[in-house]
Amino acid sequence: MSVRLMVVDDHRLLAEALASALKLRGHRVLAAAAPSGGAAELVISRAPEVCLLGTATPAEPGVFDPVVRIKREKPQIAVVVLGPVPSPRGIASAFAAGASGYVRHDERIEGVERAMVKARAGEAAVAPQLLTQSFAELLNPAAEPDDEGARLLQMLTPREVEVLVRVAEGEDTRLIAAGMGIAPSTARTHVQRVLMKLGVGSRLEAAALAARTGLLERAGGGAGA
């Protein structure tokens, strides 16, 4: 079953090699590109069924921002992340941004193909063994203290932490934008991303969660970074 897709990776050679392999298997590859900052724009403009998005740093803040934008503007596009074996937070961040799947970048082409088909069908595409490996530290309570506030804080970028602090202080979108020197639309996007990452449906819930878990106290000097 042919899939219309795009391959986007920081390493052009890898992107083109994967695209060629998938073409040989009968899939329609719209583009194989490695833009430094224009990944979202390129994917949105071409509107594939599936986007394979490669990253070498799944835990780096903001690495999944293109996924957030793609899903906001073209929610019908399924994004499958190709990356190294991540920490649990790496997978969580990918799915929180809206990704449909996560595949190791050393996976066989058959595994990538299965993930593409599952993602296009609206299913979560994550290999069971990858889940077992990456979530091992969460399944072992002795491996890490049960500190929800610390876990939540690590899911947020410094800019998102500042937004959360301002939300908790009761600032509306206009005040957040003015205080941070950004456009109201950008502030609104940051707020929506914070709500999504925290798994809450409103600003009030976000503020309550932050207070309950001690997240605001931990954010302390981090706001405005």
Quote the pLDDT of residue 121. 94
Q: Which residues pair with 8 in a beta bridge?
A: 33, 53
pLDDT score recorded for residue 136: 62
Determine how β-strand 4-8 pairs with β-strand 50-54. Answer: parallel
The yes-or-no verdict on residue 1 having pLDDT over 90 is no
Q: What is the pLDDT of residues 33-75, one digit of tens each?
A: 876 678 899 999 999 999 999 888 877 778 899 999 999 999 9
Phi, psi dihedrals of residue 157, rounded to the nearest 5°: -75, 165
Q: Is the model more confident about 72 or about 219? A: 72
Residue 178: is its pLDDT beyond 70? Answer: yes
Which is more confidently placed, 132 or 138?
Answer: 132
Residue 51 near residue 15, CB atoms below 8 Å:
no
